[in-house]
Amino acid sequence: MKIAVLAGDGIGPEIIAQAIRVLDALKADGMSIELEHGLIGGCAVDATGEPYPEVTHQLVSNADAVLLGSVGGPQYDTLPRPQRPERGLLAIRKALNLFANLRPAILYPELANASSLKPEVVAGLDIMIVRELTGDIYFGEPRGIEQRDGQRVGFNTMIYSEAEISRIAHVAFQAAAKRNQKLCSVDKMNVLECTQLWRDVVIEVSKEYPQVTLSHMLVDNAAMQLVRDPKQFDVIVTGNMFGDILSDEASMLTGSIGMLPSASLDQNNKGLYEPIHGSAPDIAGKDIANPLATILSVAMMLRYTFDQEEAALRIETAVQKVLQQGLRTSDIAAPGEQAIGTQAMGDAVLSHL
Ligand code: IPM
Ligand code: MG
């Protein structure tokens, strides 16, 4: 298993360090794991002038999977757009054709009180957001800011081809078929033609999955339903921008964005695995960040790219035991509850592994 590790910026290096300890433990138990490190985001800009340098592209192209920390920081916000760290993330997704972004939102029973919603609304929550990741308004052309009639106008293009919609729909239907056979497709077809096509194509693809019950929801209603009654959902499939927004919202149902892993897959299950949270520059270097989302991203990597379900479960079980034991980083600690640091959380996961 050749894994490219891109720790990135902010809390990235600290949380990745804990995930690497988990990989080292599996390696010590006989798994054949090879790690190679590279730069992405702000640290890559500092070293090479580019957020996704060619050497990094070579490294990740030759790897089976990529483990990524996080990118970005306030010191980069004034750089020209092509040099911003976020561009590195978008570039690697596009370059590796990672069109299928899986973002599970699972509420661990021990964390029911960390959610901002009432425990009875979120208890037992287990939903999967399937977000299209290489199309939509994120990549559509034309785009820009220009002068028109004496004033600046900004514009972007929301665009999806039927091939792009159908391949992400297949991923979502297959995910739903393995879960509770319920798929909700989210669009804005009452206003946007692009998403009318989205709905039409999803309906066409649904004919191949008679066992899955398909429903449709407009994105504004979906945002509301996610906080009103999130347990009505099993799998949600949506475009790049709506998925960006809804997945942050869903993460909060689970108590902390610090708990949620993600997988971004290509057609062959080569994947990039990263926590869905950002680089959190305000807490970087303080040994307080929650490494669990990154550690759980390793579990997803073992499951989806390497087909090692047993090892994936071993990690997930270790995380669960740590939570049962009452150990919390500050983002998931209840008021007054003692919090432990990043390293100590890594220690605890290793001890249960
Ligand atoms: C995410 C992030 C990224 C996105 C940013 C950092 C470019 O918010 O992975 O959700 O918008 O996709
Ligand atoms: Mg986001």
Domain that holds residue 34: 1-99+266-353
**Same domain (yes/no): 184, 286:** no
**Same domain (yes/no): 217, 234:** yes
Q: Is residue 261 part of a domain?
A: no
**Same domain (yes/no): 180, 219:** yes
pTM: predicted TM-score of the whole model, two decimal places: 0.94
| Number of domains present in the structure of the chain | 2
> Is the minimum distance from the CB of 249 to ligand 1 under 6 angstroms?
no
Which ligand is nearest to the Cα of residue 9, counting in written order?
1
**Same domain (yes/no): 70, 37:** yes
**Same domain (yes/no): 350, 280:** yes
Which of the residues 244, 270, 273, 304 is marked catalytic? 244
Q: Is residue 325 part of a domain?
A: yes
Per the CB < 8 A criterion, the answer to whether 234 and 183 are in contact is yes
For 46, phi then psi, to 5°, come to -60, -40
**Same domain (yes/no): 76, 214:** no
27 CA from centroid of ligand 2 (Å): 32
Strand partners, 317: none
Q: Is residue 11 part of a domain?
A: yes
Q: Which of 254, 276, 300 is the last residue of a domain?
A: 254
Which of the residues 52, 76, 138, 209 is marked catalytic? 138
**Same domain (yes/no): 114, 214:** yes
pLDDT tens across the length of the chain (353 residues): 999 999 999 999 999 999 999 999 999 999 999 999 999 999 999 999 999 999 999 999 999 999 999 999 999 999 999 999 999 999 999 999 999 999 999 998 888 888 889 988 998 899 999 999 999 999 999 999 999 999 999 999 999 999 999 999 999 999 999 999 999 999 999 999 999 999 999 999 999 999 999 999 999 999 999 999 999 999 999 999 999 999 989 988 887 888 999 999 999 999 999 999 999 999 999 999 999 999 999 999 999 999 999 999 999 999 999 999 999 999 999 888 899 999 999 999 999 99
Is 138 catalytic? The answer is: yes
DSSP-derived letter for residue 77 is T
Q: Is residue 288 part of a domain?
A: yes
**Residue 242: both structure tokens together:** 């709506």
Question: What H or E segment, with its residue span, contains residue 241?
Answer: helix 240-253
**Same domain (yes/no): 212, 344:** no
Q: Is residue 350 part of a domain?
A: yes
Which residue carries 């497709």 as its tokens? 185
Q: Is residue 293 part of a domain?
A: yes
Task: Determine the Cα–Cα distance for residues 86 and 89; give it in Å rounded to an integer.
Answer: 5
The CA dihedral of 287, 288, 290, 295, to the nearest 10 degrees, is: 10
**Same domain (yes/no): 67, 48:** yes
Which of the residues 52, 188, 209, 270 is marked catalytic? 188
Sheet of 2-8, strands arranged across: 34-38, 2-8, 65-70, 271-275, 261-265, 100-106, 126-132, 235-238, 182-187, 213-218
Q: Is residue 168 part of a domain?
A: yes
Q: Is residue 260 part of a domain?
A: no
**Same domain (yes/no): 112, 238:** yes
104 CA from centroid of ligand 2 (Å): 14
29 CA from centroid of ligand 1 (Å): 35
**Same domain (yes/no): 229, 317:** no
> Is the minimum distance from the CB of 133 to ligand 1 under 6 angstroms?
no
**Same domain (yes/no): 74, 122:** no
CATH code for position 51: 3.40.718.10
Q: Which of 254, 287, 320 is the last residue of a domain?
A: 254
Contacts of 145 (CB under 8 A, 6+ apart): 152, 153, 154, 155
